A and B are shown apart, each in its own frame.
Chain A
Amino acid sequence: QVQLQESGRGLVKPSQTLSLTCTVSGGSISGAGYYWSWIRQSPGKGLEWIGYIYYTETTYYNPSLQSRVSISQDTSKNQFSLKMRSVTDADTAVYYCAREDPSYCTSSSCQGWFDSWGQGILVTVSS
């Protein structure tokens, strides 16, 4: 059974860069079949999808965040990471990494549901 675990700094100053890593066990991020996503949850905005990476290093981001966000992977460590630049108070949230099963496909893309989640990490933006 796949397990995901987030790690990183829980306190970030405004205007700085948020950096988180997700370590995956019980499954490989190098194989086809799943996307590896970041999702956040805040009292004000609820659950918000941030973006995903596929083993080919293809990435997609929430259009509202894509100018500040990047997701990368380190297959040798079975990890994927999130960087979010120029953070503000509005970026304070619990950040989850999750595995997506992209089983619904159209002619141009595949999407799906999140079948495994990490426990989440609270990131607070404050000076």
Chain B
Amino acid sequence: ETVMTQSPDTLSVSPGDRATLSCRASQSVTTNVAWYQQRPGQAPRLLIYSASTRATGIPARFSGSGSGTEFTLTISSLQSEDFAVYYCQQYNNWPLYTFGQGTKLDIK
């Protein structure tokens, strides 16, 4: 099983600042990583797939990067609606999709 480990568990950032979230895979997943945003009481929403491709309708302030075992989600100029929990997911190592434990983005 490929374990996805996100860091930090909680990140406190001021509105308007940049946030950088990390995700590490226990073995290579090439670029087969997706990122999701989950607001309280809502389902996860797809932000990024293939490590760096924004999903339909996702603002340009969200960007993803990385390959192999290290991945980053960057949110430039944080808006109030961006404070949420973020998850990474690998879909490279079948037959099991695995998710990270999540990073909570808090208002500083």
Contact = CB atoms under 8 A, between A and B. Distances in A.
B97 A96 contact: no
A113 B101 contact: no
A113 B34 contact: yes
Interface string B32-45: 10101000001111
Contacts, number: 58
Interface string B73-108: 000000000000001010110111111111000000
A7 to B, nearest CB: 15
B92 A113 contact: no
B55 A111 contact: no
Q: Chain A: interface secondary structure?
A: strand
Interface string A55-66: 000001011000
Contact of A114 (B32, B46, B94): B46
A114 B33 CA distance: 11
Query: Interface extent on A, as a size class?
Result: 20 to 34
Nearest to B101: A46
Interface string A105-125: 010010111111111100000
28 contacts: A46-B99, A46-B101, A48-B99, A49-B98, A62-B96, A63-B96, A96-B43, A101-B49, A103-B49, A104-B32, A109-B94, A109-B95, A111-B32, A111-B94, A111-B97, A112-B49, A113-B46, A113-B49, A113-B89, A113-B91, A114-B36, A114-B44, A114-B89, A115-B55, A117-B43, A117-B44, A118-B43, A120-B43
Interface of B: 32, 34, 36, 42-46, 49-50, 55, 87, 89, 91-92, 94-102
